[in-house]
Structure 1
Amino acid sequence: MRINIYSIGMLIAAGIAVMLAGCMKKVEESAEYKAVCEGLHLSSTAKRNQAMEDGYIINKRFDCVDKASYAAVKEERMKYEAANTPEAIAKQKAEFAEKRKRYEEELARKAEVEKNVSVEAESNFVFRIVEVNTATEDELASVASIRPEVAAQIIAARQNGLFHDWYDLVNRVIGMSAAQSVAYASVSGLTVNGKSMEGAPPDERIAAAYWKNRRQ
């Protein structure tokens, strides 16, 4: 009788597989396995890969799905499903529409406020020639380009003597030291000894625009 080596090998392999399966079953039934694993032992590479693709962590000792990761994935799936029901989606759309409505209303409100400020600024503006050596602090502050703190500086400096010319004003008042500031002051109607700054004659249109910008 001839012995088929291949058949014997298959029988041995089958026997080993049965034995290992029996051992694994005992492991799966152990308290230690049940404490850290969810489901059965991952008996193939394909099953392990699928488990990882599904977001699970593999317990390397028992080659199973980690119980904590199973619970975490399950919770995330439940949240996703709850957030994507027709009712939940409808609620999200309604909330978004409400937020958009409030945002548009706020934009409209701000636009109206800015419009009112602009109208008020234009209505309050009065163009006049203001002489730096005789004007009060309030009159100086009424010049479109001169802020209250600069008007106060002018009054303080004037106590040490009247301003001879624009050069004297620029040198004695810090708030008027910038070329742009002093030019705007002249355009807005400020004079020194009755004279505007050379090259910057009074211009009511520019002064009104500067006044409007200052009030916004």
Structure 2
Amino acid sequence: MNTPHHNFGFCAVFKALKRCKWRGVVRGLLSSVVALMFCDAVLALDINQANEAELDSVKGMGPALSAKVLSARTQGSFKDWSDLMQRVSGIRQNKALHFSEQGLTVNGQAFRAKP
């Protein structure tokens, strides 16, 4: 009796493994993109563009200080860090350095302490 040999089980398993492999690749790519988006958001927060929620997310900023920043910004964009420190009470060299280390910038510039 000659019956054709069908190995359907192998095909189903092989197809499932192939699908799982691609799912892993797609999942890895998506998680990498999301991670890069969050890193970019954290590392590139300009004080002239940030909204209240973004300012509050900066460690050490707090709602009161972010409100002062937004209030001072209504008079015009901050030119540089010294302009920011003059117009917003509560931000001095130590705070500016701390904020800059977290990725906060003024017109794209990081804070550089004057010797």
Structure 2 residue runs without a partner (length 5+):
1-37
Aligned to 1:197: 111
Aligned partner of 1:173 among 56, 76, 88: 88
Q: 1:134: how far off?
A: 0.7
Structure 1 residues 148-190: Cα deviation after superposition (integer angstroms, max 9, x where no partner) = 11111000000000000000000000021x2211110111111
Distance in structure 2 (CA, Å) of the matches to 1:145 and 1:184 = 8
Aligned partner of 2:50 among 115, 121, 135: 135
Distance in structure 2 (CA, Å) of the matches to 1:166 and 1:134 = 15
Distance in structure 2 (CA, Å) of the matches to 1:143 and 1:193 = 17
Structure 2 residue 64 is matched with structure 1 residue 149: yes
Structure 1 residues 39-71: Cα deviation after superposition (integer angstroms, max 9, x where no partner) = xxxxxxxxxxxxxxxxxxxxxxxxxxxxxxxxx
Structure 1 residue runs without a partner (length 5+):
1-125, 200-216
Q: Is the 8 A contact 1:164 1:193 kept in 2?
A: yes
Task: State the Cα RMSD in Å.
Answer: 1.4
Q: 1:192: how far off?
A: 0.3
Which residue type is aligned with residue 180 of structure 1? N
Greater RCO (Cα-Cα under 8 Å, separation 6 or more): 2
Q: 1:136: how far off?
A: 0.2
Q: Which has the larger radius of gyration?
A: 1
Q: 1:145: how far off?
A: 2.4
Q: TM-score, normalised by structure 1?
A: 0.32
Q: TM-score, normalised by structure 2?
A: 0.59
Moved over 4 A (4+): none
How many residues align structurally? Answer: 73
Q: 1:141: how far off?
A: 1.0
Structure 1 SS opposite 2:68: helix
Which residue type is aligned with residue 137 of structure 1? E
State how 1:25-174 maps to structure 2 within 5 Å.
Answer: 128=42, 129-174=44-89
Aligned to 1:188: 102
Q: Give the share of equivalent positions with the same residue, in percent.
A: 37
Q: Is the 8 A contact 1:132 1:190 kept in 2?
A: yes
More helix as a share of residues? 1
Structure 1 residues 104-129: Cα deviation after superposition (integer angstroms, max 9, x where no partner) = xxxxxxxxxxxxxxxxxxxxxx6602
